Chains A and B, each alone.
Chain A
Amino acid sequence: MRGSHDLGGLKGLGPISPEHESCEPVFHADWEKQVFALTMAVGFLGQWTLDESRHARERQTPEDYLRHSYYENWLVGLQTLLLEKGIVSEQELNTGNPDCDSPASDLSALQAKDVGEILLRGGPVEMATEKIPKFVPGDRVRVRHEVTPGHTRVPAYVRGRVGSIERHHGAHVFADRNALGHREGKHLYSIRFASREIWGEDTKPGEAFSVRVDLWEPHLEVL
């Protein structure tokens, strides 16, 4: 299974056509600013995790995901979660007005004066664990073929591929479970893959490169 968002190695998407750095605005329309700020502000209500919000964007069909611009995908994700968590109703979304009979929410909005501090604090994901890391730098590992149903952070292009552990980052919140609202720490590693291991003969001689991917222990098997 490969999600709509899992784009590494996909062909035929055309040129990147970057705007020039010196004249690129942060946002390209007012609605983009609003979607960004709404997503952040509603996110701070604490009703879902960052991985749940990623998954809500990824669950679209590939056609929709690729057709939409970036902030349209954010908007879809936000609307999806607001509905699924019962924070707004379908009718409210359609009309833009609160239902007459909707109960008062017990959630309290993030105040402007607290924004600076909450952003500076961020959301560290390092966790304590008593489990000893299974791998050490230099170990060769294979990425498991079978992936978590639902949200996973294993890109399709490394599944089944062999790489070497380069660094142990410590135990971090395991994204695949965090997307279901479970906060569990698993050892996270930086793994180096040679381009030939991933793309085979597609890599021209003399143009070899390497790719580092961060994966959690449950994604890996001993060789």
Chain B
Amino acid sequence: MSDDHHSHDHTELPSDLELKVKALESLLVEKGLVSEETLDTLIETYEHKVGPRNGAQVVAKAWAQPDFREWLLKDANAAIASLGFTGRQGEHMRVVENTTKVHNLVVCTLCSCYPWPVLGLPPVWYKSAPYRARAVSDPRGVLAEFGTHLDDGVEIQVWDSTAEMRYLVLPQQPAGTEGWPEDKLAEIVTRNSMIGVEEVCIDNDDNDEEAAS
């Protein structure tokens, strides 16, 4: 499930896999099918530009502006596009809201479907066999593994991304953050909370600072 079995031999020699990928790349470049500059641009885009900070801005805005929240829940595509986060693997967005009664959890049991424009590429665990197997059969156990324990009576709703709809969880705004500016709210929104495996928490320092100001 991980790449542990490939390269932990403590030598500097490239593994068979590395050689195979390098050979494929040079073949495709030589045949004129891909350009190295394009490959670099693709990597740069998803390594540094498109990631969960985008989604955090969406969530922060929804917390700060009730009109935006309403728009986001009704027409996620348009509301998210207004912030510029559109395109590949986010063509058909839906935002699902956590409340005191409902907790949402997103998975793709068949592969790794994930809303790229707002969250970037999925983490290893999201693509892993144990998560994909258990999110739909034992969501409470999955949440516990992330240290998330919901109150009794909270209904868990799991969203299996089996088509091209992509789901983003709107986590609950933590108590004590009302009135915070959007950029400060965005800082506390984690990627995991937007997948639904964690809730958003604030540490006490943040809270004290706000109380004192």
State in angstroms the CA–CA spacing of A140 and B8 once bound together.
Answer: 52
Inter-subunit contact B125/A19 (CB<8 Å): yes
Chain B, range 128-147, C-beta contacts under 8 Å to A:
128-137, 139-140, 142, 145-146
Q: How many A-B residue pairs have CB under 8 A?
A: 261
* Binary CB contact string for chain A from 187 to 215 against chain B (1 if under 8 A, 0 otherwise): 01010000000110010001111111111
Contacts of A16 in B (CB 8 A): 125, 128, 130-131, 134, 142, 145
The yes or no answer to A38 lying at the interface (CB within 8 A) is yes
State in angstroms the CA–CA spacing of A86 and B86 once bound together.
Answer: 33
Contacts of B1 in A (CB 8 A): 66, 69
Q: Which of A21, A66, A172, A202 meets B192, CB within 8 Å? A: A21
Inter-subunit contact A96/B26 (CB<8 Å): yes
- Please give me the residue from chain B that is nearest to A12 by CB atom: B133
Inter-subunit contact B27/A5 (CB<8 Å): no
* Binary CB contact string for chain A from 115 to 130 against chain B (1 if under 8 A, 0 otherwise): 1100111111110000
State in angstroms the CA–CA spacing of A92 and B26 once bound together.
Answer: 11
* Binary CB contact string for chain A from 42 to 67 against chain B (1 if under 8 A, 0 otherwise): 10010000000010011000000010
Chain A, range 161-207, C-beta contacts under 8 Å to B:
169, 172-173, 175, 188, 190, 198-199, 202, 206-207
* Binary CB contact string for chain A from 93 to 136 against chain B (1 if under 8 A, 0 otherwise): 10111100010110111111001100111111110000000000
Inter-subunit contact A172/B160 (CB<8 Å): no
The yes or no answer to B212 lying at the interface (CB within 8 A) is no
Inter-subunit contact B7/A70 (CB<8 Å): no
Chain B, range 46-75, C-beta contacts under 8 Å to A:
46-47, 51
Q: Which of B108-116, B176-184, B203-211 contacts A (4 or more CB under 8 A)?
A: B108-116
The yes or no answer to B201 lying at the interface (CB within 8 A) is no
- Please give me the residue from chain A that is nearest to B103 by CB atom: A209
Inter-subunit contact B86/A120 (CB<8 Å): yes
Contacts of A173 in B (CB 8 A): 164
Q: Which of B20, B112, B137 meets A75, CB within 8 Å? A: B20
Q: How far is the CB of A25 from chain B (nearest CB, A)?
A: 8
Q: How far is the CB of A216 from chain B (nearest CB, A)?
A: 7
Inter-subunit contact A109/B35 (CB<8 Å): yes
Q: How far is the CB of A143 from chain B (nearest CB, A)?
A: 11
The yes or no answer to B3 lying at the interface (CB within 8 A) is yes
With A105-B31, A115-B42, A124-B92 already in contact, the answer to whether A8 and B20 are too (CB < 8 A) is: no
Closest A-B pairs by Cβ, 7 of them: A96-B23, A8-B109, A214-B163, A18-B125, A209-B156, A112-B37, A37-B39
Inter-subunit contact B162/A96 (CB<8 Å): no
Q: Which of A31, A45, A69, A207 meets B21, CB within 8 Å? A: A31
The yes or no answer to B97 lying at the interface (CB within 8 A) is no
